[in-house]
Structure 1
């Protein structure tokens, strides 16, 4: 069966996705939405996109809405992606926090977990006595599917082509037998990270203490400028004075109103 989405149906989905997730789909995305969701309609035996819209909006658990977002969004990431951010964490931020030996970081769009695990590796490998430090990382995403993958901490060997062998052996367990070709994050990293489902469109976040660093990389490209501005100003509220916000290298805060001070490309600081 060939599925075709009408302009009216597309507008319904576009409005729903924008209001619930902040993702802004332009008119040119109609064919993408149609192709990405057609397989799902076929899987669950629905005949029209209107029927699927009813299913998504009437699900009180929002599980089907989350599944839909998984289908239309890209969750591609890598270990040490945009490595200059981790250099800055190691060379600038950690020395600033040396007197307290305490750091709180939020990976706000963690996808399948490569970002928070890279943060944890950077922290541990950058200080002389990691046990003397209080490291805490909150890793969140809207998708329960990618969070489950992240929490498992299991990745295939292709993910580590650019990682030094010594780093790999320090922080990952190599699979044997049926798990050959897989690597699992060691407990000393997982103990530093708490995974949680969060929607960046929520008015408030369950964060009680001010943060030192927020990573929000390669997600705001899906938002329009008003949504970007609202989110960035919320982030400012949750950072302590002198705290840092990292955004993706394809993103910019140039065209929105915000109180941050730029300190390096795609790195911003809350004024002290």
Structure 2
């Protein structure tokens, strides 16, 4: 099969940006070509051009577009990744929210771009630890991603020994059990912890997020690095709209709002607070 032509590259990059907001610049042409080749070969097609035409045929391509999206998205994550942010969550963010909402006792957290679930489960463990003595709180944690394969993995909650090495021992003993039978050698998230989470497929470029009430804390880490300036701005605008006054936004270590949006104040370690 011939390589991806410049015209084909432009067609595919526009298609990808339209549907999921990810921007492939020219330095990423080889990356895009490699991932497209996986789908072209899977379907037994002869060229990138024929694959593009296939995607344009809506009835036939509806499921294939989702498969392509799953192939293009990056699912790199880990339990308690960027530990300092989880320390801030436990020591500053949650205590502040608990004081502010001590009357209504309602907590809403969104793990936006949760990938295979490690971030969302890490959040849930910290939240459980914070509120373990008070069961009167209404707590909901939304874990969303556009990748349906990643969401299925996250919902199963089965992880290798290597992937849970960053989980503190007390959390490991409390929230995981060893897998048995075909799951032997794996570690299963307890149902009680899993029930803290609501897994949903959400596409950032839809911008119509289905929230019935404001959110207290949003984790959106290492996601915006894949978007261009226009999509980033719209996403930040939506985060600002969705957050409670004085709500918190946690970004990845390659992402910053300093000099970009003065509606947020830096708390520390790439955690920002909406100015009330």
- Unaligned runs of 5+ residues in structure 2 are none
2:258 aligns with: 254
Partners of 2:51 and 2:153 in 1: how far apart? 26
Secondary structure of the structure 1 residue equivalent to 2:135? helix
Q: Is the 8 A contact 1:232 1:258 kept in 2?
A: no
The 5-angstrom pairing of residues 59-74 of structure 1 reads 59=58, 62-74=62-74
* Equivalent-residue separation in structure 2 for 1:108 and 1:62 (angstroms): 24
CA drift of 1:261 comes to 2.0
Contact 2:73–2:147 at 8 Å: present in 1 too?
no
Residues 1:4 and 2:3 are matched in the alignment? yes
Deviation at 1:179, TM superposition (A): 1.6
Q: Which residue does 2:77 correspond to in 1? A: 77
Instruction: Give the Cα separation in 2 of the matches to 1:168 and 1:14.
Output: 42
Query: Is 1:138 matched up with 2:142?
Result: yes
Structure 1 residues 82-231: aligned runs within 5 Å: 82-98=82-98, 99-100=102-103, 101-231=105-235
* Rounded Cα–Cα distance in structure 1 between residues aligned with 2:264 and 2:168: 35
The alignment partner of 1:79 has SS state of coil
Q: Which moved more, 1:75-84 or 1:246-255?
A: 246-255
Task: Please list the CA deviations of residues 211-247 of structure 1 after superposition, one character each: whole Å capped at 9, or x if unmatched.
Answer: 1001110010001122111110111000010100111
Q: CA deviation at 1:28?
A: 1.5
- 8 Å contact from structure 1 (residues 139, 193) kept in 2: yes
SS of the equivalent of 1:131 reads coil
- 2:85–2:269: 8 Å Cα contact kept in structure 1? no
Could you tell me how far apart the structure 2 residues matched to 1:136 and 1:203 are?
Answer: 21
Shift of 1:255: 4.9
> 1:7 Cα shift?
0.9
Q: State the 4+ residue runs in structure 1 displaced beyond 6 angstroms.
A: none
Deviates more, 1:57-66 or 1:2-11: 57-66
Please state whether the residue corresponding to 2:206 is helix, strand or coil: coil
**Greater alpha carbon shift after TM alignment, 84-93 vs 109-118:** 84-93
Distance 2:136 2:122 in 1: 20
Aligned residues, how many? 271
Cα offset for 1:127? 3.4
Tell me the equivalent position of 2:56.
57
Question: How big is the alpha-carbon RMSD for the aligned residues of Structure 1 and Structure 2?
Answer: 1.7
- Is the contact made by 1:3 and 1:34 (CA closer than 8 Å) also made in structure 2? no
Gaps of 5+ in 1: none
Work out whether residues 261 and 269 of structure 1, in 8 Å CA contact, stay in contact via their aligned partners in 2: yes
Q: Secondary structure at the match of 1:158?
A: coil
Cα deviation for residue 174 of structure 1 reads 0.6
Once the two structures are TM-superposed, the CA of residue 257 in structure 1 deviates from its matched residue by 3.8
Q: Secondary structure at the match of 1:5?
A: coil
Supply the distance in 1 between the matched residues of 2:55 and 2:246 (Cα, whole angstroms).
42
* Structure 1 stretch displaced more, 140-149 or 93-102: 93-102
